[in-house]
């Protein structure tokens, strides 16, 4: 009888490399690895390594365009930033990884999918719940949650089976994709420690940033960026460009004392230059194209949206409903925003839109003022009526 198959999400790192062999031995199964590039992943070396370790098939997927269009773009339009600082790179990537895992499992006839998440993080929740939504019949196996090996034991286990193991200590646990880089553990576990310089790879320290600012003009159409300094780019190229350009100015470093879904407070550091620039530019454009009420409600939805993404509830009707609302708000969010990058800061310095609700004639104190000053008297008399009434009856204490 043919052996059962398991589809394993494979990064090429120690954990998932050891997991290939561990799954074969513990589950008496064949392992198909699936390596997904959502930005920053070198697919071919991972594929070769998986086959060398003993995978029966090593699938690779370039998911960058799908990641931008289907995950980053809706989150950007929604203004989804967890606890006001984290643009959710890792959290947005997980549901797409789950989707590719499920597709691979179906194609290969696997009865289970497996991943390298630990039992303490959010990522296990996001992957398990996403698989449950997409393929309720598939089993999910999380070897690291099960095997109880320390890092040293893992290295021993790997060595004994000729799996290439890393030399020296790994100082951080990291995850990266187009939307950002997440860094945790090591020296960062003491929240009093300033993040050491070696935690960062995408952003320069302020001391090494250019002394001159860089100005960028970002044009948006219906809530999404379409060009940089007049040059049209697709989403992946645009984000990539901004990661580099803003990273060179030290923009995008985030130090977050974060509330995990599993109840732990943890210290997380992020690098997300493009996400920081695009969220602030998008917000600035909304400020000039949306009404006060639209901005107020959208801010509340943004928080809910961020929680939903963070908590792994991507594949839900609730998220789709919020997308429908958000898309409706973006109909007139078109125009151009100018930002200044300088020594770690990203500042919006200009915004304009053909749909701007800002009116010079109404706002100006100079000649050309069209605001009816006399009408203010009647307005204030009605607006202040309840205050005057209450004060007359009850006094002002």
Contacts to ligand ARG by CB under 6 A: 90-91, 122-123, 173-175, 182, 184, 258, 268
Q: Which of 94, 245, 253, 267 is catalytic?
A: 94
Q: CA 279, 332, 177 angle in degrees (round to 5)? A: 30
Instruction: Give the shortest CB-261-to-ligand ARG separation in angstroms.
Output: 8
Helices 89-108 and 123-134, packing angle to 10 deg: 40
Half-sphere exposure in the Cβ direction for 64 (13 Å, CA): 18
Instruction: Give the nearer residue to ligand ARG in terms of CB position, either 173 or 316.
Output: 173
Respond yes or no: is residue 123 known to be catalytic: yes
Give the shortest CB-184-to-ligand ARG separation in angstroms: 5
Give Cβ neighbours of residue 381 (< 8 Å, ≥ 6 apart): none
Residue in 173, 214, 227, 280 annotated catalytic: 173
**Strand pairing class (265-271; 253-259):** antiparallel
Sheet containing 180-184, strands listed edge to edge, beginning at the edge strand earlier in sequence: 173-177, 180-184, 265-271, 253-259
Q: Which two tokens stand for residue 186?
A: 């090591």
Q: SS3 for 338? A: strand
What tokens does 362 get?
């109404």
- Of 174 and 345, CB closest to ligand ARG: 174
Angle between helices 292-310 and 273-289 (to 10 degrees): 150
Q: Least distance from C-beta 91 to ligand ARG, angstroms?
A: 4
- Selected catalytic residue, list 123, 128, 175, 240: 123
Catalytic residue among 15, 128, 175, 240: 15
Q: Which is nearer to ligand ARG, 126 or 245 (CB)?
A: 126
Does the annotation count 15 as an active-site position? yes
Nearer to ligand ARG, 17 or 90 (CB): 90
Cα 159 from Cα 275, distance rounded (Å): 40
Phi and psi dihedrals of 274, rounded to 5? Answer: -65, -40
Q: How far is the CB of 173 from ligand ARG (least distance, A)?
A: 4
CA distance 105 to 7: 6
Instruction: Answer yes or no: 173 catalytic.
Output: yes
- In whole angstroms, what is the distance from residue 341 CA to residue 345 CA? 6
The residue (of 240 and 258) whose beta carbon lies closer to ligand ARG is: 258
Give the pair of three-digit tokens for residue 356: 């701007």
Nearer to ligand ARG, 154 or 268 (CB): 268
Task: Point out the residues that are catalytic.
Answer: 15, 94, 123, 173
């Amino acid at each position: 009888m043919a052996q059962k198959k398991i589809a394993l999400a494979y990064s090429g790192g120690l954990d998932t490399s050891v997991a290939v062999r561990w799954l074969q031995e513990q589950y008496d199964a064949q392992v198909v690895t699936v390596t997904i590039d959502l930005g920053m992943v070198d697919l071919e070396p991972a594929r070769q390594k998986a086959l060398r370790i003993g995978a029966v098939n090593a699938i690779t997927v370039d998911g960058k365009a799908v990641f931008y269009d289907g995950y980053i773009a809706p989150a950007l339009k929604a203004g989804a930033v967890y606890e006001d600082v984290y643009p959710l790179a890792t959290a947005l990537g997980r549901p797409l990884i789950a989707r590719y895992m499920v597709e691979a499992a179906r194609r290969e006839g696997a009865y289970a999918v497996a991943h390298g998440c630990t039992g303490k993080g959010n990522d296990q929740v996001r992957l398990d719940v996403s698989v449950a939504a997409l393929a309720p019949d598939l089993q999910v196996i999380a070897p690291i949650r099960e095997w109880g090996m320390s890092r040293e034991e893992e290295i021993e286990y790997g060595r004994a089976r000729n799996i290439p193991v890393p030399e020296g200590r790994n100082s951080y646990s990291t995850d990266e994709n187009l939307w950002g880089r997440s860094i945790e553990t090591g020296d960062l576990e003491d929240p009093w420690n300033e993040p050491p310089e070696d935690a960062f790879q995408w952003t320069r320290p302020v001391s090494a940033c250019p002394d001159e600012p860089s100005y960028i003009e970002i044009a948006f159409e219906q809530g999404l960026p379409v060009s940089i300094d007049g040059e049209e780019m697709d989403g992946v190229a645009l984000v990539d460009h901004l990661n580099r350009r803003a990273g060179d100015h030290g923009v995008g470093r985030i130090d977050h004392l974060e509330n995990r879904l599993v109840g732990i407070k943890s210290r997380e550091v992020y690098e997300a230059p493009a996400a920081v620039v695009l969220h602030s530019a998008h917000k600035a454009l909304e400020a000039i194209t949306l009404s006060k009420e639209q901005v107020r409600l959208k801010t509340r939805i943004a928080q809910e949206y961020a929680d939903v993404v963070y908590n792994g509830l991507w594949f839900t009707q609730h998220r789709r409903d919020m997308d429908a609302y958000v898309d409706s708000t973006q109909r007139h969010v078109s125009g151009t925003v100018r930002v200044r990058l300088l020594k770690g800061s990203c500042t919006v310095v200009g915004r304009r839109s053909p749909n701007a609700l800002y009116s010079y004639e109404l706002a100006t104190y100079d000649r050309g003022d069209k605001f009816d000053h006399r009408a203010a008297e009647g307005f204030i008399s009605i607006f202040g009526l309840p205050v005057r009434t209450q004060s007359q009856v009850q006094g002002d204490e």
